[in-house]
Amino acid sequence: MLHQKRKHSGRTEADFAPLLRRLALFLVVGYLAATVLFYFLAGEQLHLRESRGDLELLTADSGTVELAAGSVVEQTFTTEIQRLEKISVQWGTYYRPNAGTVVLELYDTRSNTLLMSKSFDAAAVTEGGFTVMEAEAPIEGLYNAPLLLRIYSPDSQAGSAVSPLMNTQAKEEGFSLTLNGAPTPGILCFTASGTDYIWTGLHYWEFVAAGLAVILLFLDAVWYRARSGKRSYVVNAVIAVQKYRFLIHQLVARDFKTKYKRSILGVFWSFLNPLLTMCVQYFVFSTIFKNNIQNFAVYLLIGVVMFNFFSEACGMALTSILGNAGLITKVYMPKYIYPLTRVMSSMVNLGISLIPLFLVCLATGVHFQKSVVLALYFMMCLVIFCLGLGMLLSTSMVFFRDTQFLWGVLSMMWMYATPIFYPESILPENFRWVLRINPLYHFLKNTRICILDGISPEPFVYFQCFMIALAMLLVGALVFRKNQDKFVLYL
């Protein structure tokens, strides 16, 4: 290739040896630091997740028996929960005030041991309401074990007793319902929930070690290639980064300086903008269209900040090649620099708009947990995704100027397909797939989990988001690379 020949001719091994050594050190130390940091930040969520074997509530269509003294409701069942934590039962009250004590008991029928129990006042039960029985510590070893849930009341009177609800149609292997000793078809309306161990989490350090081995092998291969005089992509990329760092810095600084050059508030717009957008949308969606999201202000602002970045980065990258036509036809530099600097300038803005986000979090009393740091991971995934998409768009823009108009429509659709200002639960079931295939939704959702819920998503999600971002970057970079020599002919 012409340009590579030019750049590297005359370079000797000595030039890249220290570079490579620095790269190797950086990779290994960075990797180890990141994995250890992640281990601590992810905390419990690295090892445990909500069980996939949770029993869902059935729709109630009938009461069982009136739970006066002497009546017993017994439900046997099995679950695929590794650590059982909670059982809840749904009640009918016959729409009247009730009295008396009700007892819930859970037995392991293999050994007839009482696992947990709870007694409570029937007066507190509401129609269709739940009582929750919680284990003091998660109970292990009940995976697929035969369990018995027994409900009775020692002292309730007929006429003022409650009744657990049931579904008369349901049938399941290992489940049987007995009312006052008589087997009855149907299943009680109850739920069982708990947590499962995550295989990845249990083997975390093995994974870390495997990753390290891959990195070392990779470095060894790069080193070997470099020694034998061949050019690998890695060496080229490292040299390019070294060589064009100053230029990239200058171009990003230029974008940033000129953006607000002649405005009075200048850089303040970077954090006023998301704040004002949030205020308007907050007003609209908390008074006109009501919703029941907790801490809606932060929920909304996270969405606004991330989507603003997305649309700004992609919009700017879109015109990056065309807008720099004057340079491209006159000076040689690697063309990926143009979309890259545009995305990086937007990244600076993203960084600045994190300040108002932080302030609003403080003002609304968000309790920051250590997982907040992990939110940055998902933002980085978003940046990588935008870079890939930006390269794709800028390429397309050179050959078809219609791209910018199509993109205008597409980004609007994208905005509505992402739960920025609405809760994801308002989407009907048959449109859920829109969210599942929307990469932005994944980045956004997990950022919110990290900041608002204060917990880390499960480990697989990190892998998933990284892969989405990487795939977009690869597609974008390949299309860009394939076409970049033709750009100058179409400008």
Partner 1 sequence: MSQKTMIEVSDVTMRFRLNNDKILSLKEFVTTALRGKLQYNDFTALEHVSFEVKKGETLGLIGRNGAGKSTMLKVISGILKPTEGSVVCRGNVVPMLELGSGFDFDLTGRENIFLNGAILGYSKEFLHEKYDEIVEFSELGQFIEVPIRNYSSGMLARLAFSIATVVNPEILIVDEILSVGDAAFQEKSKKRMLELMGGGTTVLFVSHSLEQIREMCNRVVWLEHGNVKMVGAAAEVCDVYDI
Which helix or strand (DSSP H or E) is residue 187 part of?
A: strand 187-188
Least CB distance to partner 1 at residue 8 (A): 11
Q: Which residue has the tokens 């300038």?
A: 345
Alpha carbon distance 21, 235 (integer Å): 11
Alpha carbon distance 336, 484 (integer Å): 9
Nearer to partner 1, 72 or 333 (CB): 333
DSSP code of 156?
Answer: P
Least CB distance to partner 1 at residue 481 (A): 13
Least CB distance to partner 1 at residue 251 (A): 7
What is the dihedral sign for C-alpha 242, 246, 249, 251? Answer: negative
Least CB distance to partner 1 at residue 61 (A): 57
Nearer to partner 1, 260 or 358 (CB): 260
Query: By CB neighbour count within 10 A (0-12 exposed, 13-18 middle, 19+ buried), where does 130 fall?
Result: middle
- b/e per residue, 41-73, with b = 16+ CB within 10 A? bbbebbbbbebebbbeebebeebbbbbbeebeb
The pair phi, psi for residue 435, each rounded to 5°, is -70, -45
Least CB distance to partner 1 at residue 392 (A): 16
Alpha carbon distance 131, 91 (integer Å): 8
Q: Which residue has the tokens 């890695």?
A: 234
Nearer to partner 1, 21 or 243 (CB): 243
Least CB distance to partner 1 at residue 342 (A): 14
Nearer to partner 1, 177 or 328 (CB): 328
The tokens for 318 are: 């879109």
Least CB distance to partner 1 at residue 319 (A): 14
Find the helix packing angle between 439-448 and 372-399, rounded to 10°: 160
Nearer to partner 1, 327 or 380 (CB): 327
Nearer to partner 1, 3 or 22 (CB): 3
Nearest to 389 by CA among 479, 280, 461: 479
Least CB distance to partner 1 at residue 221 (A): 28
DSSP notation for 47-116: TEEE-TTPBPPPPP-EE-----TT-EEEEEE-B--SEEEEEEEEEE-TTS---SEEEEEEEETTTTEEEE
Alpha carbon distance 451, 377 (integer Å): 12
Nearer to partner 1, 308 or 341 (CB): 341
Nearer to partner 1, 302 or 328 (CB): 328
Least CB distance to partner 1 at residue 256 (A): 11
The tokens for 260 are: 């607000």
Query: Going by C-beta distance under 8 Å and a sequence separation of 6 or more, which residues neighbour residue 227?
Result: 13
Give the Cα-Cα-Cα angle 66, 67, 73 (nearest 5 degrees).
Answer: 105
Nearer to partner 1, 332 or 460 (CB): 332
User: Which residues contact partner 1 by CB under 8 A?
Assistant: 2-3, 5-6, 9-10, 243, 246-247, 249-251, 254, 257-258, 261-262, 326-333, 399-402, 485, 488-490
Nearer to partner 1, 5 or 52 (CB): 5
Least CB distance to partner 1 at residue 326 (A): 6
Nearer to partner 1, 110 or 257 (CB): 257
Least CB distance to partner 1 at residue 11 (A): 11
Q: Are 164 and 60 in contact (CB under 8 A)?
A: no
User: How many alpha carbons lie under 13 Å from residue 378 in its C-beta half-sphere?
Assistant: 28
